[in-house]
Amino acid sequence: MKINSYRFGEMDIDGTIYTSDLVIASENIHARWYRQEGHRVKLLDIEKWISNDCKKLIVGTGAAGFCKVAPEVEKYCKEHSIELITLPTGKAIEEFNAISDKSKAVAAFHLTC
């Protein structure tokens, strides 16, 4: 699976265009990802996708990086030895595309802001 392109509000993954925030977990795409607090990622917003074998959580924080990760997510990742990477979405996509074993990663992308 490869993210071919991204621009504000739009992501192309393997030729399919997505126009809503999304999560990629276990090499499956979950479109229309909503967060309880809009521009804040809380544990409740992502915990259903983080499995016991997750080694990396990549959060794309939007084009300008307005979306923030709550401290509870940081704490959870530390306690479960999950590498947490938070970057503006364009950079987060580069990080995701560079991962050879995507089955061990969860990526959550905010496509706007």
Give the pairing of strands 56-61 and 28-31: unpaired
**pLDDT of 82:** 96
**pLDDT of 101:** 86
**Measured distance CA(68)–CA(47) in Å, rounded:** 16
Bridge partner residues of 23 (DSSP) = 30, 108
Give yes or no for residue 51 having a pLDDT over 80: no
Give yes or no for residue 41 having a pLDDT over 90: yes
CATH number for the domain that contains residue 51? 3.40.1230.10
For the stretch 94-111, pLDDT in tens is 999 999 888 899 999 999
Angle at the Cα of 108 from the Cα atoms of 19 and 39, rounded to 5 degrees: 80
Q: Which domain holds residue 106?
A: 3-110
Mean pLDDT of 51-63: 93
State the total domains in the chain: 1
Give yes or no for residue 63 having a pLDDT over 90: yes
**Measured distance CA(86)–CA(24) in Å, rounded:** 15
**pLDDT of 53:** 85
**pLDDT of 52:** 78
Give the global pTM: 0.95
